[in-house]
Structure 1
Amino acid sequence: MPKIEETRPKYLQIAHHLRDQILRGDLRPGGEVPSERQLAADWGVSRPTTARALETLRHQGLVEKRQGSGTYVRGPSAHRRPHDLHGRPKPPARITPPGEHAVMTSTGRSEAPEHVAKSLNLTAGARAVHRQWVTRNDSGPIALSTSWFAPDVGDRAPKLLDPDRIPDGPLRYVEHMTGRQGSHAEDRMCARPATGNEASGLELEPGSAVLIVHHLVYDLTDHPLEFVEAAYPPHRWAFEQGYPLG
């Protein structure tokens, strides 16, 4: 069991250790996660600390608590995850899958919409940095995505304002320039009518239904680092999930 480092929050160290076990497959979907009591004994910390660690994993969607039973690893829920398009690429870096390409449509500083400002912990009216692009393949647009960063991140990572493609992707570039490491992300999804900009970028009729994905990346201290809003046409997304009955 790793030793607690005094320079980082204890609950985050425990949460990250368990998260890595889940991602490596050491803790498999459906498997039980060590209890608060067991984690407290293993790590030499208090029960409230381990409770917060498990709550962090639940917030990230990695585990679920079953009343009167325990905490269990959640199984995969989507055929194609937002992380596949918006996560940090692994070397050799590739931002889009084979057969797809991204076309930048807008970069700059602009007033962050209310939901973006709230997600990035910005004050109302703050001028955040944005990068917008359309992902396409031979059959047409796949997604219209806008990546948002806090103003101070734009000051330290000036290439975010350039219209040119960033070879390793915006997130890896921001990590390099700011020293802040992306730790985990959460996704929220809903369906709504397309805005004028979304309909135009996705080549849809005005008011067409689109799937909206909000992808929020947190750093190692649980502070928001990047917010991505992506719109998908109805024929470009499908969910698949298997689960036992009874």
Structure 2
Amino acid sequence: MASNQEEEVKLFGVVPSPFVTRVDIALNLKGVQYKFVEENLGNFSDTLIKYNPVHKKVPVLVHNGKPVSESRVILEYIDETWKQNPILPSDPYKRALARFWSNFIDDKFSGALRKLASSLRAKESNQESIEELEVVFQFLENELNEKFFGGEEIGIVDITGVYIAFWFPVMQEVSGLNVFNNEKFPKLYKWSQDITNHQVVKEKLPNRETLLAYFRARYESLVASK
């Protein structure tokens, strides 16, 4: 077994971030011991900036003094470094598909959320962004054929999608939307329950009430802005 110095692992992050939580979940799944270094949102430390000078944001994984940035890049690094409990398939085609759907979530889902926030800020109709979200959910609904996107065990798409499973229902409750529900997307909705209740995931999710208060404050600030 490697010494503590050889296996020094630190995760720089903020608690409300779904992107940081992805890394938390992957490390927990692998059984990797690490130190969580909490940053202040909006006032990142010089150390964080030094480790991620390009994007200047969390998460950053530092392994043996070497920093890795961007959550999905970090997930792949973790999977390649610690081989137990793989989160990417060994088959090249299935591996490519997993990368595709992980990217799809970050690209299409995050893009629709940004558009929704922009419409709320501008006090414009949010129908277009709602329709985009429904398209995203329908694609994922059609793709989900087993308990998890990774099969019977969670994989990279499930870990990436925790943003949808846990964060979006909180955002939806705060904003009064009813886009993601059991009637419209039964398979995806059940998956969201299964993934958030998975022991490895559940241990790393932030407190729901704290997250609710955080997004309520952000939402009220957003709708009050001119």
TM-score class, shorter? under 0.3
Highest RCO, 1 vs 2 (Cα 8 Å, sep ≥ 6) = 2
Structure with the larger strand share: 1
TM-score (norm 2): 0.23
TM-score (norm 1): 0.22
